[in-house]
A and B are shown apart, each in its own frame.
Chain A
Amino acid sequence: DIVMTQSPDSLAVSLGERATVNCKSSQSVLYSTDNRNYLAWYQQKAGQPPKLLIYWASTRESGVPDRFSGSGSGTDFTLTISSLQAEDVAIYYCQQYFGTPLTFGQGTKVEVK
């Protein structure tokens, strides 16, 4: 199984400041045939299902604010919230779809400082 490890487990950021969440995979999720990273990011607010934010490591889902961005390649990835808003308080998960079983990171809780 590909193990996804996120860091930190939680972080507190002031409103308007940058929040950075890291995700590391135990093996590369870059597929050489299409040069794509098989990695997605989700946001889960309290009591709600996860919501897709980013796929192919850096492609923003339709309707997702542009303050959310994804970067990285191979085994190391980052989700950045450029200017934290109150509505961004949530747990963020990365997920790899390079291999089965599909696996998720343990989650990073983002709060307002």
Chain B
Amino acid sequence: QLQLQESGPGLVKPSETLSLTCTVSGGSISSNNYYWGWIRQPPGKGLEWIGSIYYSGSTYYSPSLKSRVIISIDTAKNQFSLKVTSVTAADTAVYYCARLVLTGDRGRGFCDYWGRGTLLTVSS
């Protein structure tokens, strides 16, 4: 059974960089049938796609976050990671990593497996 687990600091100060890692177990991250993505959910609000990465390292980002986001992948460790720079209180959210079934180019797909999510709070 595929499992995804997010890990990260929980609390980040404004203007600093948020860093999260997703560890995938029960399956290989090096599959040509999937993207690996990050989705976030501010407290009490809806879901926002941040971006997706292919095992080759090709990345696709939401235009609204593109200037502040980097997603990377480490196939040897079966992990992928998210960095968001210059965070503000608006970046406070539960961050989910997910597997996306590849349905087209540019990171497009639907999420068939999700991590449990990690709450990231931006506060001084």
B49 touches A103 (CB 8 A): yes
Is B63 close to A, CB under 8 A?
yes
B110 touches A104 (CB 8 A): no
CA distance A78 to B64 in the complex (A): 28
CA distance A51 to B49 in the complex (A): 15
CA distance A48 to B96 in the complex (A): 11
CA distance A48 to B117 in the complex (A): 8
A2-25 vs B, Cβ < 8 Å mask (1 yes, 0 no): 000000000000000000000000
CA distance A95 to B117 in the complex (A): 19
What total of chain B residues lie within 8 Å of the partner, measured CB to CB? 25
User: Which stretch in B12-20, B26-34, B76-84, B98-106 binds the other chain?
Assistant: B98-106
- On whether A101 and B111 interact (CB within 8 A), knowing A49-B96, A93-B46, the answer reads no
What total of chain A residues lie within 8 Å of the partner, measured CB to CB? 24
Chain A, residue nearest B4 (CB): A49
CA distance A104 to B104 in the complex (A): 18
Is B116 close to A, CB under 8 A?
yes
CA distance A97 to B64 in the complex (A): 17
- On whether A55 and B101 interact (CB within 8 A), knowing A49-B116, A98-B108, A100-B60, the answer reads yes
Chain B, residue nearest A98 (CB): B108
B49 touches A104 (CB 8 A): yes
CA distance A25 to B119 in the complex (A): 29
B114 touches A95 (CB 8 A): no
Instruction: Report the minimum CB–CB distance from A10 to chain B (whole Å).
Output: 13
Chain A, residue nearest B102 (CB): A97
List A contacts of B52 (CB < 8 A): 102
CA distance A96 to B116 in the complex (A): 22
Is B62 close to A, CB under 8 A?
yes
B117 touches A100 (CB 8 A): no
B108 touches A52 (CB 8 A): no
- On whether A97 and B109 interact (CB within 8 A), knowing A38-B103, A55-B101, A104-B47, the answer reads yes
For the A-B complex with A38-B103, A101-B62, A104-B48 known, give 5 more contacts whose Cβ atoms are closer than 8 Å.
A38-B104, A49-B117, A102-B52, A102-B107, A106-B46
